[in-house]
Structure 1
Amino acid sequence: MPFESLFLRLDRIAGGRQAGYAIDEESRRHPKTRRSFRWILWLLVAELVLGIGAVVVALILAAGGDTVPFSVWMRTVVVLGMTATLFYFAWRASLGWRWAYVRLRLFAQIFPVITLVLAAIPGLYPVWMVTEQIVFSLIMIGIADFLTSDHMRAVFAAPASPQP
């Protein structure tokens, strides 16, 4: 891959000390691992479509003369940026990089909580945006479910510490 050295540098920034650790090829190619990442990819595509749909709805409302709150615009930008990041983590994790799996799992577990808390704040978002956030959270919970399966946790287990 011509850009792999660039991606490895980016991995070093995002992955820290664990950036160089990858799972073995057999585990990476295991049918359950591949199937999990296929599902995760499709769920992320659904997140992307949902995020683009939110931008379109906001644009249509604004073009029609409705006031679209600043919080809605920020939410749509943040969701699209976050989804792009999650695609990167999922791609790198599917290549066997443990750091990416850990980051993806962490975000998939935290984002639904944050999103649902924000959706529960009265008046922060219009009803259509609250609905979008609930659907977003449900999809993220689905991604987290795949990532926390027994198989995936075993495949991406932390490397054994060297014994003194």
Structure 2
Amino acid sequence: MESLLRMLDRVAGGRHAGYTIPEDNLRHPRTRRAFVVITWLLVAELVLGVGAVVVAAVLQANGQSIPWAVWMRSVIVLGMTLTLFYFAWRAQKGFYWAYSRLRLFSKIFPVVTLVIAAIPGLYPLWMVTEQILFSLILIGVADYLDSDHMRAAFPKPVDPPSGEQHPLTAR
């Protein structure tokens, strides 16, 4: 199983897929506490996403027409949330690439979500509300990841001279 994950890491992480942060940084109480909060925020995202699907299903079962955009959005949000869980899990293992992706997407997704939510008539009010909550939770994730401590705990990899192996490679 780990070899499959390493292949997925290689695709998602690129040339720094094997780069991990020092063990002391990973075990630091503030790092661990940040990941506990981030995990709970992502659980809230998952509950919110599943809730949106349930609301849409119940409304449709009661005869209300649910636009295709609502179903598509619901599926995409669940997929994004699962991806964020993967990044958070790998970041908790010390992989810089996963921290970097989680940090990037927790900043991008809220902006995209809010812009789409602002399109008049695209979504019903309950879906717009869900999108705003989704964005606020992800902004919370981004806030934890952007803290001085977390940025110091996850130093950017520096490419070694050609032919040498990176000093902080996968354990």
What TM-score bracket applies, with the shorter chain setting the length? Answer: over 0.9
SS at match of 1:37: helix
Higher relative contact order (CA 8 A, sep 6+): 2
**Superposition map of 1:41-80 within 5 A:** 41-80=39-78
Q: Which is worse superposed, 153-162 or 102-111?
A: 153-162
1:82 aligned partner? 80
Ranges in structure 1 where 5+ consecutive residues have no aligned partner? none
Q: Give TM-score scaled by structure 1 length.
A: 0.96
2:168 aligned partner? none
Equivalent residue pairs, number:
162
1:11 aligned partner? 9
SS at match of 1:56: helix
1:27 aligned partner? 25
SS at match of 2:120: coil
Residues 1:102 and 2:100 aligned together: yes
SS at match of 1:66: coil
2 CA distance for matches of 1:163 and 1:10?
A: 26
> How far is the alpha carbon of 1:6 from its aligned partner?
1.1
Question: Contact 2:16–2:157 at 8 Å: present in 1 too?
Answer: no
Question: Contact 2:16–2:97 at 8 Å: present in 1 too?
Answer: yes
Residues 1:114 and 2:112 aligned together: yes
1 CA distance for matches of 2:11 and 2:60?
A: 38
2 CA distance for matches of 1:20 and 1:32?
A: 23
**Superposition map of 1:135-146 within 5 A:** 135-146=133-144
**What amino acid maps onto 2:78 in structure 1?**
L
SS at match of 2:17: helix
1 CA distance for matches of 2:92 and 2:56?
A: 34
> How far is the alpha carbon of 1:148 from its aligned partner?
0.3
> How far is the alpha carbon of 1:161 from its aligned partner?
4.3
1:156 aligned partner? 154
**What amino acid maps onto 1:134 in structure 2?**
I
SS at match of 1:20: coil
Ranges in structure 2 where 5+ consecutive residues have no aligned partner? 163-171
Q: Give the root-mean-square deviation of aligned CA atoms.
A: 1.1
> How far is the alpha carbon of 1:5 from its aligned partner?
1.3
Deviation per CA, 1:103-159, whole angstroms, max 9, x where unpaired?
Answer: 000000000000000111100100000000000000000000000000011111212
2 CA distance for matches of 1:158 and 1:126?
A: 42
